[in-house]
Amino acid sequence: MGKGFQGALMRAFGAKDHIVTVTGVEQVTSSVVKVNFSSDGLIYEAGEKPTAWVRAWFPDPQAGSKLHQRGYTLMDPDPATGAFSMCFLTHEPAGPASYWAMNAEAGDEIVVQRLGGDGWDLDDPQPAGYLLVGDVASWPAFVSVIAEAPREIPIKLYFEYTHDDDKDLFIPEHPLLDVTWVPGSDDGRALVDALGTESFQGWKSYVAAESTATRLVRSRLTLEDGHNKGTMHAQAYWIRGRAMGKEAETSDIVE
């Protein structure tokens, strides 16, 4: 099954449709819903790299003719069983993915595709440390990096939070992990200001937050610490006041 023009284009680049089935839903915090899935052939047999993600399609909340594509990090992917989870931020007004997650039940199905998103390489030789900068939207990606990072490499996590119970989100144990919780701000400067004047030269960085916040941190690390595309992954996970993702007409679905 395709998704109109967008789906046809992805198939042209080798993206395969995977029908995944909900096996359970968990309210992790007041704003985070974790949905567990089963799948057949979605998870790589050799396992997944940290931050690996997929493209999922969701129905229109108003029962319209559009499908909406959003990208989500794989959590707890199990090659042996095909089980995995995705976490959703709930908010009002709810977008297509948020609305779907808040109403998901065991047995529900959605279409998931893979095109890119194979994950972040933990380098060998290792960098001086790993710098992780983001917010609740990037929590699944950060969990996967911390869980896989070598125990002898320091990690600094700067985590912007909006709700008090954001601090209840699970963070894996690591002997050299330093977590800085950063109160959110509307001007996008909270994360870059939290970095202060500390040098991160020789570190590898993963920056994933709101668009303005991501841009400011990326510029700071590039100009002051010499980070580049080889040492820094920087991606806006969301844009304040706007939706991110693709849409397609269900009437264009082809067999």
Per-residue pLDDT of the chain (255 residues; tens, 9 = 90+): 335 545 544 454 456 899 999 999 999 999 999 999 999 999 999 999 999 999 999 998 887 778 999 999 999 999 999 999 999 998 777 789 999 999 999 999 999 999 888 999 887 789 999 999 999 999 999 999 999 999 999 999 999 999 999 999 999 999 999 999 999 998 999 999 999 999 999 999 999 999 999 999 999 999 999 999 999 999 998 887 555 445 444 333 322
Q: Given this model, what pLDDT does residue 62 score? A: 81
pLDDT of residue 11: 52
Show the tokens assigned to 50.
């940290």
pTM of the model: 0.87
Helix (H) or strand (E) holding 213: helix 211-225
Burial of 207 (0-12, 13-18, 19+ CB in 10 A): buried
Closest CA to 138 of 209, 33, 50: 209
Task: Give the dihedral sign, CA 218/223/224/225.
Answer: positive
Q: Could you identify the residue written with the tokens 């144990």?
A: 173
* Cβ-contact 131, 206 below 8 angstroms: yes
Between CA 60 and CA 108, with CA 14 as vertex, the angle to 5 degrees is 35
pLDDT the model gives residue 13: 42
